[in-house]
Structure formats: C-alpha cells, structure tokens
C-alpha cells in the first residue's frame, strides 16, 4: 500500500526572507503549517471547528533539515505525508521542494503534532472519527 501525499504550492514573499535574501529559517515551519492546515481542510475539517469542539493540534516536536536556500519569489511545493497516527498525535513527514521540473529538495522535516484538550492544554485522545479517517485515507 502506498502512502498518499498532499501537495500545497507556496511562493516566497519578501517578508519571508532575511537580510541575505533567503527564506528565514523559522519561516519554513510556517510553510509546513500551511501544508498541514490545507491538508486538514482537504479532509473537510477546519481548525476553528475542532477548536469549537474543544480540541486543537499543537506542534510537539520538529526535526528539520535545511538543504538548499529558497529565495524571494521562488515557487515551492509543500509535500505532506502521514508517517503514523497515534492515540494523541500524528507524525507528519514533510518536504519543501522547488516547483519546477527538477523539484530540488530544499528542506525536510518530521513533525509530531499532538491533539490537545483546549480546557486543560494537555494531550487528549484524538476523536475516533478523525483518527479513523486519517488512518483509512492516509496511512
């Protein structure tokens, strides 16, 4: 069985770059967040709806590797895959590649996102309906 991949395009804006004209290192995390948010939206889930249900997703761990610099006005693709679904978290494997024929790998990361109870701000079991949908369609 192959693992599905969600792809979201982004363009590097001037505000994303540092004084050297390359994407500021922390902004790659913002690109990854957009990829995960749009992936969740593609499943029919908006984060504000989950928050209204008392749940949120919070980044618990990031392991990122910076391989090539992205620059102002570059077109990039954010690739998002699910590595595993656990009771209270999802582990994502994400990549940022150039949006061209070569698709050069710019950055890659493994990101663990925890399901959090909004009242206690502690890890909470992911609702079965959401966990099952992710596992069925993405793992």
Q: Which residues are catalytic?
A: 18
Report DSSP letters for the chain, one per residue: -PPP-EEEEEE--GGGB-TTSBB-TTHHHHHHHHHHHHHHHHTT--HHHHHHTTEEEEEEEEEEEE-S--BTT-EEEEEEEEEEE-SSEEEEEEEEEESSSS--EEEEEEEEEEEEETTTTEE-PPPHHHHHHHHHHH-
């Amino acid at each position: 069985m192959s693992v599905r991949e969600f792809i979201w395009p982004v363009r590097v804006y001037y505000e994303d770059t540092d004084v050297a004209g390359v994407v500021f290192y922390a902004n790659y995390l913002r690109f990854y967040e957009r990829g995960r948010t749009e992936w969740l939206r593609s499943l029919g889930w908006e984060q504000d709806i989950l928050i209204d249900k008392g749940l949120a997703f919070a980044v618990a761990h990031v392991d990122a590797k910076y391989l090539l610099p992205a620059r102002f006005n570059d077109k990039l693709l954010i690739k998002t895959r699910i590595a595993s679904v656990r009771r209270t978290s999802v582990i994502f494997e994400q990549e940022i590649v150039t949006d061209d024929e070569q698709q050069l790998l710019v950055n890659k990361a493994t990101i663990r996102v925890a399901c959090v109870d909004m009242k206690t701000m502690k890890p909470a079991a992911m609702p079965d309906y959401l966990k099952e949908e992710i596992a069925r369609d993405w793992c």
